[in-house]
A and B are shown apart, each in its own frame.
Chain A
């Protein structure tokens, strides 16, 4: 029975995102379409679909969790099928596999050792994630919200702290990350607190490193031999980044399952990864990037899912970076295009302010 539950989580968290990632990466040049990029894009798309679908149901339906589960599963299935169909079409057309190998060159012994060191640090973090319990008062809201959803089918209509019924908590209900955790729990039949505290880190910690890996690949293009060193530095700064309770590293290691950590460790580095690639000056033949714009658009929806107030932070990051790039490149189109990707931020931000 436990094996079945784990298989369901593997399906929802690994295989389905991979299939969904084939949709945006269909519109990305082959030179940029690596296996990690497909997966990174896919999970972003999966989360964005959940946010788009769940928020209206949360607002309209008092008892809507069952509906969310059914509809979202159908949407994921359709999107996965679309990804597979597009890939089959592309392979038939190009006669090549979609993704190029991430490590297309031979590694030296030194690099292999460095990669092993990096892997050991990450595995250590994953083991510690499962073995150590971290206290955070906010769990009394967010984790309980997930549990309430699975146990009562209600959506933000009960006070998590005490259990008293209340009118809808609109401010929090725009960021439905706890409901996504409830979805994982509902589908796998694993208690939401176990999903949050014991399982989710096994996905989100490696996922964060995957984003840093893509950033590293981009900025160390001419010194690829230093990529494992870059990743070791990044990993060390996460293990020893608890210089205060506020840092993104602290959030990743101690509050992995909260939307705020998703914002700090997925959305913000994700924006940097995408902007580095979208505005990459090195271009090869057939180097399409439309899919990356789509992923950035989706990531902005995920930012709203993580924490509604975060829309201002992501808008600021994209705005400042876009402004600097526009001035540097003397190209106003950069800023205008980036503004289009910020439409979800404007919509959720306006809802946040009006509520």
Chain B
């Protein structure tokens, strides 16, 4: 039951929209006369809400699709119920009602474009421009074999959204702690505040990486890149891009 309550709290965040929804539901419960609207917008959501809190239901659902139990709450037509009850409650005072309820909705909610996950788009791909620049540096020419690269963790999500001709030594499946993640020594190296170039070079070569990208601010130890046959071929504002000379391209002989 605690887990369900945690999911409910996490879903509703500040909780104000949830409170408005419950108030709207109660209001419609007592005032709505249309049987069909009452059934679909009052009784059914109430029943779904009750089922949501049943621990056995949670256990069964979690077995079917682990970690997505919050989606049951998508079935509650919160937006429709709040908006409809709002329209009903303002009666004939539409101007003041619209202004007042709009203000309540604005103050109760959280502005989506202030989210930490939102940033101004730097290009039509909506990928960081540095990712595009790095990909342009290392992607194979048209008709050539795909290349392998290893990149810092903050770039790993993006690279293959630009081009799949660049393959990665580790990806998101090694990064998400809650998954049965794939162990990858290169990912572990990039997690360290200090990067041992000897280790990085060794594993990059073992994983056939033609290119290695390193965060400029990261402290490097264990010699210089040149000593490990990492030739700097370019840079962006925050990253250095190296060609790993120990690994030939797949179609090098052609």
A-side interface residues toward B, CB under 8 Å?
110, 114, 128, 130-137, 139-141, 143-144, 147-148, 151-152, 158-164, 191, 193-194, 197-198, 212, 215-216, 219-220, 223, 225-226, 229-234, 236-250, 253-254, 260, 263-264, 268-269, 272, 275-276, 279-281, 309-310, 312-313, 316-317, 320-321, 323-325, 328-329, 353
Contact = CB atoms under 8 A, between A and B. Distances in A.
Taking chain A's interface residues, is the majority helix, strand, or loop, or is none over half, making it mixed?
A: helix
B94 interface: yes
B180 interface: no
Contact of A236 (B97, B105, B115, B172): B105
B162 interface: yes
A151 B167 contact: no
B-side binding surface: helix, strand, loop or mixed?
helix
Contacts of B90: 226, 229
B127 A193 contact: yes
B109 A242 contact: yes
Contact of B14 (A243, A246, A272): A243
A324 B82 contact: no
22 contacts: A128-B113, A133-B119, A137-B176, A140-B156, A147-B160, A159-B171, A161-B171, A193-B126, A237-B79, A239-B111, A241-B110, A243-B13, A243-B15, A254-B112, A254-B118, A263-B74, A279-B36, A317-B48, A320-B75, A321-B44, A324-B44, A325-B36
Interface string B107-147: 01111111101111110111100000000000000000010
Contact of A144 (B101, B160, B169): B160
Contact of A276 (B36, B117, B118): B36
A191 B34 CA distance: 49
A253 B115 CA distance: 11
Contact of B112 (A136, A147, A242): A242
B61 A312 contact: yes
B120 A281 contact: no
Nearest to A326: B39
Interface of B: 10-17, 34-41, 43-44, 47-48, 51, 61, 64-65, 68, 70-75, 77-80, 82-84, 86-88, 90, 94-95, 97-98, 101-102, 105-106, 108-115, 117-122, 124-127, 146, 148, 156-158, 160-174, 176
A131 B120 CA distance: 6
